[in-house]
Amino acid sequence: MFELTKEQIKKFEKIVFVTGAGISQESGVPTFRGNNGLWRNYDSMKLATIDAFYGNPKLVWEWYNERRQNIFQAKPNEGHLAIAELENYADVAILTQNIDGLHQKSGSKKVLELHGSIIKIKCTVCDFKNEILEEISEIPPKCNCGNILRPDVVWFGEALDQEVWQNAVILAGECDLMIIVGTSLVVSPANTLPIYAKQNSAYLIEINPENTEMSPRMDLTIKNTSAISLPQLVSIYKKL
Ligand code: BJW
Ligand code: ZN
């Protein structure tokens, strides 16, 4: 499946993974687009906006509460675990669009969360930030300053955390192998990361059962799921 020679693989010193919702699909976490992208008949893409939140904060909070409960029960799958294991053989960084924390749960150390985290909250007005330590009883929850709290995630039209993004761009620009897993690559600026890698002549591998708009620009496309494909990649490293 990985049509790479051992010699080619040995040359890859810095590996960067760009991951999206598809890597957690086999852990039971729904993706955003396609058949799984509906929640109570609402389009996930329309809920992930600041307008949706201010229009109906209770509804958007209910969406996040349900997802958090599901994510807390979810276990990293063979795909997450394979990436964590690869850290024993190479310099690995993960640039994830996911907010589910499953890479960290699987033991991966260098994980940059581009779109925030499901366990974090922040005030819509003041600088208050915290982690959700217990079940939220009052929806929407309130800050001590009197204003409503929101999930500390990045919605459409909002800027990514600049420090996280700058570091992601540096890592993408320095890697010699980028593996893009389980993302439709339709959301910017995350979908520009392969371009930074290509500028450094990195080798690009995409793992996705479906084609994406960027599939033609990949050096190798593996049209299979991440829980099947990633352990196969690690097994090549084990035999080197
Ligand atoms: C498997 C699999 C298996 C399945 N194994 N694979 C026009 C109008 C307005 C805005 C824009 C516009 N054009 C561009 C924009 C910018 C906008 C954007 O990109 N929009 C596009 C949709 C058009 N981007 C933004 O707004 C970003 N901010 C920004 O640009 O800021 C500029 C700015 C600068 C300065 C000041 C102010 C602003 C922010 C984007 C934030 C995205 N947020 C979300 C929600 C995060 C929180 C949450 O999770 O709730 O991020 S939306 C959602 O999409 C989420 C995801 O991280 C993200 C990407 O989705 P992903 O991961 O790719 O999932 P899917 O479902 O799309 O794909 C899954 C894939 O897996 C599929 O390909 C499957 O085939 C595959 N798969 N099973 C392997 N087992
Ligand atoms: Zn506040």
Q: Is 221 in the pocket of ligand 1 (CB under 6 A)?
A: no
Number of domains in the chain: 2
Asked if residue 45 and residue 22 are part of one domain, the reply reads no
- On the question of pLDDT at 1 being above 80, the answer is no
Residue 198 is part of a domain; what is its CATH number? Answer: 3.40.50.1220
The set of catalytic residues is 115
In this structure, the answer to whether residues 143 and 228 fall within a common structural domain is no
Q: What is the CATH number for 34?
A: 3.30.1600.10
C-alpha 155 to ligand 1 mean position (Å) = 9
Do residue 145 and residue 180 come from a single domain? no
Express each pLDDT in 119-162 by its tens digit.
999 999 999 999 997 888 899 999 999 999 999 999 999 999 99
Question: pTM of the full predicted structure?
Answer: 0.97
Write the residue with the smallest CA distance to atom 34 of ligand 1: 159
Tens of pLDDT, residue by residue over 100-125, are: 999 999 999 999 999 999 999 999 99
Query: Domain end: 106, 127, 153, which one?
Result: 153
HEC states along the chain?
CCCCCHHHHHHCCEEEEEECCHHHHCCCCCCCCHHHCEECCEEHHHHCEHHHHHHCHHHHHHHHHHHHHHHHHCCCCHHHHHHHHHCCCCEEEEEECCCCCHHHHCCCCCEEECCEEEEEEEECCCCCEEECCCCCCCCCCECCCCCEEEEEECCECCCCCHHHHHHHHHHHHHCCEEEEECCCCCCCCHHHHHHHHHHCCCEEEEECCCCCCCHHHCCEEECCCHHHHHHHHHHHHHHC
Ligand nearest to the CA of 142: 2
CA of 192 to the centre of ligand 1 (A): 12
